[in-house]
Amino acid sequence: SPEMPRERDPRDTKGQRAEVPTMSQIFDAYEKEFLEFTASIARNTSSLPSLAGDAKVQKIGETESDVAEAEALIRRMDLEARSQQNPAAKNPMLNKLRDYKSELARLKRESQLASRAANEANNRSQLLAGAELDDSGAPTSSSQRDRMAQATQQLDRTGDRIRDGKRTLLETEDLGVSILQDLHRQRETIVSAREHIHGADDNIGRSRKILQAMGRRAMANKAMLYGIIAMLFGAILLVAYFKLFRSSDDDSGGQ
């Protein structure tokens, strides 16, 4: 069965100072792969009528695998485009994506029609071969038709299993894309919360500075109050001294 594409990490891991590519670079890398697969699908579809037997079956399998790869790249490009925050970069990507989806749908229809026509032609040729054996009166024509019918049923069952497996893989990949989208939204929430925390830290720092300034001002006011009290106490002592000294002078003068 055709394998689904593995997620490529476009980051450069060479050296300690590797740079992470931007979203547009990741989208461009997916776009390049998508165009290669669509070109391969078109070539394989156009070559199907000229093939026969195992070569035709192999080419049909290659076409189906390329279609699955292209569909996976469409989903990845859609995720990258919707992750863009800047509309000037996001809108052109979404416009390209719409065109690519239409092109892939057209190529998929053409490949399915070509595959169906090729299978019908193959079945027709096998039936004609069985009919020739019947007309010639060969004693083995009936058993050959039975074997051919069994082989056709087995091929149909195998094709059904392949399609079921491919459907399961596509559903798994859709689930992965959904998880990635959820993780992206959670990342935005975490970044927003971190910005709020930084703002709260700034406010706490400013409040701490204000409290420190108020504390210094209170200390200065307290020192000033103590100074005034000391001055008043000194003035009281001075007045009392002069009063006592003058009263003693008056008493000595009266004697």
- Closest to 59 in 3D by CA, of 3, 119, 101, 106: 119
Tell me: the pLDDT tens digits for 28-78?
Answer: 999 999 999 999 999 888 887 777 777 877 888 888 899 999 999 999 999
pLDDT confidence of residue 253:
60
As a whole number of Å, the CA-based R_g of the chain is 44
Q: At what angle do helices 23-47 and 53-82 cross, to 10 degrees?
A: 160
Tell me: the pLDDT tens digits for 89-118?
Answer: 888 889 999 999 999 999 888 888 887 776
Residue 108: which H helix or E strand, with range? helix 87-136
The residue behind tokens 């009392």 is 240
- Closest to 27 in 3D by CA, of 73, 87, 88, 95: 73
This prediction has a pTM of 0.45
Tell me: the pLDDT tens digits for 160-188?
Answer: 778 777 778 777 877 788 788 778 888 88
Residue type (1 letter), 122: N
Q: At what angle do helices 87-136 and 141-254 cross, to 10 degrees?
A: 160
Tell me: the pLDDT tens digits for 194-246?
Answer: 888 888 888 888 888 899 999 899 999 999 999 999 999 998 988 888 888 77
Structure token digits, residue 38: 């669509």
| Residues counted in the chain | 255
Long-range contacts of 167-174 (CB under 8 A, 24+ apart): 169/4, 169/68, 170/4, 170/68, 170/71, 173/4, 173/72, 173/75, 174/75
CA dist 90 and 82 (Å) reads 7
Structure token digits, residue 117: 């026509």
